[in-house]
Amino acid sequence: MAVAWDLDEFAASLTALAPASVTAYRRDLGAFVEWADRLGLTGPEGVDRRVLRRYVAFLTTRGYARRTIARHVASLRRYFDWLRRRGRIEVDPSARLSAPGHDGRLPRVLRRDEIETLLDIGPAPTDDPLEAALAQRDIAVLEILYGSGLRVAEVCGLRPVDIDLDRARLTVWGKGAKQRVVPLSDPSASALVSWLTGGRAEWLTTVATSVRLDGTTAALF
């Protein structure tokens, strides 16, 4: 595999870099080759811009810091430019490839099994009516976030009037005050019914002791 990708020869060509930098380049490219191998790619000739962008997206889901991903991208750009100059490939797929632009550590995306675990956890038994109500609320929030793909801010802004259980859909106000209608999954609808017909009434009663709320127009959660 390493012979097909010429990684050792590439590393040997980096004579102007410090040994630590050469090691970092070689390590980053080795990680890319292992990932590409799982896609069935046996050499750099099969790599195009789409593959590289997919790899950068993969790195973001692993929770790497922006500077780490930027280093991976720099390794790829130097490597593919070297291949082009050697005549191994005609077009450099890494041209204009860039790392995510925002600072800080990128958020880690939950794995499917982690999401399923969250959704499978039911409310813990409790004798406190308010705790039971809030547990129903939390399950409804998780189901909507996962089932309808909403942003946290969009879920927080939902009102009872935004819910259409008969048509299994939600009316959502997103960024820039833009309105859209999204589907409501069966588990989400079931969790919402439990919250609306049980827990929310308890919650409103408790909150109303300090804040005057209209149950029709108040925020859903």
**CATH code where residue 120 lies:** 1.10.443.10
User: Is-contact 83 5, C-beta < 8 A?
Assistant: no
Mean pLDDT across 200-211: 64
Name the strand (E) or helix (H) holding 16.
none
The count of structural domains within the chain is 2
Listed as own residue / partner, the contacts of 32-37 with beta carbons closer than 8 Å and 24 or more positions apart are: 32/72, 32/75, 32/76, 33/1, 33/2, 33/5, 33/7, 37/1
Domain range for 43: 2-86
* pLDDT at residue 211, as a whole number: 42
Q: Give dist(CA 77, CA 81) in Å, integer.
A: 6
pTM over 0.75? The answer is: no
Q: Is residue 215 included in any domain, yes or no?
A: no
Cα 36 to chain centroid, rounded: 21
Q: Is residue 200 included in any domain, yes or no?
A: yes
* pLDDT at residue 210, as a whole number: 43
Q: Is the pLDDT of residue 216 over 60?
A: no
User: Is-contact 43 93, C-beta < 8 A?
Assistant: no
- Please state, for a pLDDT cut of 70, what percent of the chain lies above it: 79
User: Is-contact 135 129, C-beta < 8 A?
Assistant: no
